[in-house]
Amino acid sequence: MWILRILSGVVFLTSIILSIPLAFDVGGRTCGLAFSLSLAVFYFTDSILRIATPGDSSRWRHILVRLVGLTQWILVPTLMIWCLNKFAVDADNSGGWVERTFSGKRAGDASVKEWIFGPNGLLETATIGSWDKLLRYSTPVFQLSEGFCSLLVIQAAGQISRWMVNRGRSDSWMIGLLVLSASIISSSVYFLWRVTQFPEIGNVDATLIGATITCAVFLCAWGIGSGKGNPVESSLLFAYIVLCIYQIFTDYQPSFPDTVPPPPPQPDFPPFPPIVMASYSTLVYVLSTLPSTIHAAFNFLTAAFSTITPSVIISLAYRLFVLYASTRIIPAIRESGARALSQEPSLEDSDGAGQVLGFLSYFSPSILVAVYTSLLMQHFASTSLEGTDGEWWTSQGGDAGGNVWRWINVGGTMALYTLELYLGKEDIDGGLTGHWKAD
């Protein structure tokens, strides 16, 4: 059963990761927002049904919840096709319902129904427009939550490493953790050097990077020297600061476009033995004889994966990781100890924080859709601000935002860690590992 759950989760994540950027790329900004809104509403409704159906409810209610969950495999492609057909970029754009009402264009609408339910009508403005504003205003919340959860994970890793060193065989663990910390710092320095090679780095950017790295190095040294931190905690903090800087100044693409090399000359002898070349030719011939449907499906998947931006996927994976890890760490810090790290938070927990996290875990699909769409919008806004490939975003009403909140997140994370070092005390057993046995 657990294998089916893992496969279902992988298929769900793949469908979400592929479909939303494909809707933005093919249908445009309004189409992508409409599709993500429809997905969020569907999974929100499914979460409400699951919350309203406890374990001791009737069999028919459980069957209804399962049927609603199974309809996602049909509903997701149906919603995507409907949004692509309804909100195409080449649709007639005659202004919003407010403009048509107060500028004398109301007579151009065939009926009141078109004014309310038509393109750029009252209903579209109230739903898609509100969803757009909600995602834009939620960007600071998501960004600052990532920084807070990252700091929580970093401190939890520091406490666990301290407990591992103090519980026995300290020399072996200490050497291994020092090697791990050195590897993390070395990798971070390499990516920091990559950032300095980007051609778009200006004087102001260089000043901000220098000040940020100086503060990060000072905080890491303060934490290790005062005994309130350790090398693992400091190396992870430095790596997160470098990750934020890397996300600000790059799209995980080469800084300089690679030139296309000339085709190599035909060798006098084949690169492999004749039997291998014959087998390869046979395989290519067999693949060429496959039905055209398989070729069309392969081309569709290739085109869908080409719409995914690596920076968005990496940011999404990291943000989901720290958010999920925080749902395990917070109950462990409060009262449960190591037991909470292996248990999902639920509404039946005695702790109030566990109940809140368990309640939010029901809405994790909707939160995933909102976080992913927000990252995509932030990426499109950044590319439009740079003037590279994002002119279509601003031409369709998108906001040409910058990376202000990412810088605020970097400063807020370091300020919060500074406060933790100033108010904290040097202790062997922290709030997370104080419940653990050290036999």
Q: What is the pLDDT of residues 338-388, one digit of tens each?
A: 455 556 666 666 666 667 777 788 888 899 899 989 888 887 776 655 555
State mean pLDDT over 64-88. 83
The pLDDT confidence band at residue 218, using thresholds 50, 70 and 90, is very high
Residue 100 near residue 116, CB atoms below 8 Å: no
Take residue 420 and report the two structure tokens written for it: 């933790």
- Closest by Cα among 239, 247, 245, 244 to 154: 239
The pTM for the full model equals 0.76
Predicted pLDDT at 247: 85
The pLDDT confidence band at residue 217, using thresholds 50, 70 and 90, is very high
The pLDDT confidence band at residue 66, using thresholds 50, 70 and 90, is confident
Taking every pair of C-alpha atoms in the chain, what is the biggest distance, in angstroms?
83
Residue 400 near residue 382, CB atoms below 8 Å: no
Q: Inform me whether the pLDDT recorded for 125 exceeds 80.
A: no
Indicate the burial class of 324 (C-beta count within 10 angstroms; 0-12, 13-18, 19 or more): middle
Residue 398 near residue 381, CB atoms below 8 Å: yes
Take residue 288 and report the two structure tokens written for it: 């060429």
The pLDDT confidence band at residue 429, using thresholds 50, 70 and 90, is low
Predicted pLDDT at 98: 42
What's the CA angle centered on 207, arms 206 and 208, to 5 degrees? 90
Residue 120 near residue 96, CB atoms below 8 Å: yes
The pLDDT confidence band at residue 119, using thresholds 50, 70 and 90, is low
The pLDDT confidence band at residue 279, using thresholds 50, 70 and 90, is low
Residue 167 near residue 438, CB atoms below 8 Å: yes
Give the C-alpha separation, 107 to 322, whole Å: 53
Indicate the burial class of 387 (C-beta count within 10 angstroms; 0-12, 13-18, 19 or more): exposed
Q: Tens of pLDDT along 290-319?
A: 666 666 666 766 776 776 777 788 888 898
Q: Tens of pLDDT along 247-275?
A: 888 755 544 444 545 555 555 545 555 65
Average pLDDT, the chain: 75
The string over 23-48, giving b where at least 16 C-beta atoms fall within 10 Å of a residue's C-beta and e elsewhere, is bbbbbbbbbbbbbbbbbbebbbebbe
Residue 315 near residue 247, CB atoms below 8 Å: yes
Cα-based torsion angle of the residue sequence 34, 74, 378, 93 in order, rounded to the nearest 10 degrees: -30
Predicted pLDDT at 97: 41
Give the C-alpha separation, 6 to 421, whole Å: 40
**What does the DSSP 8-state code read for residue 398?**
-
The pLDDT confidence band at residue 439, using thresholds 50, 70 and 90, is very low
Percent of the chain with pLDDT over 70: 64
